[in-house]
Structure formats: C-alpha cells, structure tokens
Amino acid sequence: MAREKLAQAKADAAKRGQLPRREPRRKAAGPRREAGDPQLFGRAISDLLADRGWERSAAVGGVFGRWIDIVGPDLAAHTKPESFEDGEVLIAADSTAWATQVRLLARTLVRRLNEELGDGTVTKVKVRGPQNAPRPTGGLRVTGSRGPGDTYG
C-alpha cells in the first residue's frame, strides 16, 4: 500500500513537473566563468590535480618535501623517505643505529603521516639501512671479503 502511495505521489509530481532531484542544485557564487577566463592559480592547480588523478601523489610529494617539519630535524638529518607504494613508505637511514631508531618509531611515524595524508593512507613503514658500507683498508684484509656484514644492513 505504501509503494502504491509513493508511486502515485511521484506520478502527480511528474505531471506538475516537480520530480525530486537526485543531487542538490549548486548555486553559482558569482558570475559564470567562461572556459578561457583567468582563474585563481590555486584553484587551477587543484582542478588539474583532480582531473589527472594526481591528488594523492601530490600530497605524498608534499610530505616528502616537508620531511624535516614532520619528523623533526634530528631524525630528518639521518633519514629520508624514498618511495610510497600501496600504503607502504620506504625510509632510508644513513646508519644501522638510525635504521633501528626508525623501526622503533614506526607506529608513531604511521600515525603522523596519516595525520598529514588522511587516515589509512599509510599502513606500514619499511626501513632500509645503508647499502654501501665503508670497506676497511689495510693489509689484514681477506681477498673477496665484503667487510663486516653483520654490522651494516
């Protein structure tokens, strides 16, 4: 019975030309802008990012560019973000000690990065230690040795 009444009400509204809209009407805030008219630079960039689907990439790049402000000068002096892919941030540390420190701070970093990028954007922090360890020089070196492998990496 309720469906019949709803159908009847819709039919009556259609006859009067007053069907309910599915989305609300947007009111123009001022004169209509033509396609060739100048617009504010920030709005133009926002529109470009939205049209191309670059919003998340631009936000991640902004976080990488402001790394020192986000993690602090001490940590930023010894680490740098390298990539962001599938919710995982790869951070390179310049020593094993700093790599361990970042691993201990991983939960805090995920929370802080999500504050900047939006909740749930970053799910994991992966840390990479130094790749090319300094090789000791001198006569007491074994040919073909790669150095103290248990200290680096």
Q: What is the pLDDT of residues 107-145, one digit of tens each?
A: 999 998 888 887 888 889 999 988 765 556 666 666 666
Weakest mean pLDDT among 14-18, 71-75, 98-102: 14-18
User: Is the pLDDT score of 26 beyond 90?
Assistant: no
Say if 85 falls within a structural domain: yes
Domain count, the chain: 1
Domain that residue 121 falls in:
79-131
Vertex 103: Cα angle to 120 and 93 (nearest 5): 105
In a domain, 84, yes or no: yes
Query: Is 103 within a domain?
Result: yes
Does the pLDDT of residue 75 top 80, yes or no? yes
- CA distance linking residue 83 with residue 62, whole number of Å: 13
Residue 147 in any domain: the answer is no
Percent of the chain with pLDDT over 70: 71
128 burial level (CB within 10 Å; 0-12, 13-18, 19+): middle
104 with 93: CB under 8 angstroms? Answer: no
d(CA 119, CA 99): 25
Query: Rounded to two decimals, what is the model's pTM?
Result: 0.56
Residue of higher predicted confidence among 61 and 99: 99
Q: pLDDT at residue 103 above 90? A: yes
Length of the chain: 153
Residue 94 lies in a domain: yes
149 domain residue, yes or no: no
Residue 91 resides in a domain: yes
- What's the confidence (pLDDT) of residue 31? 66
**Domain-embedded: residue 89:** yes
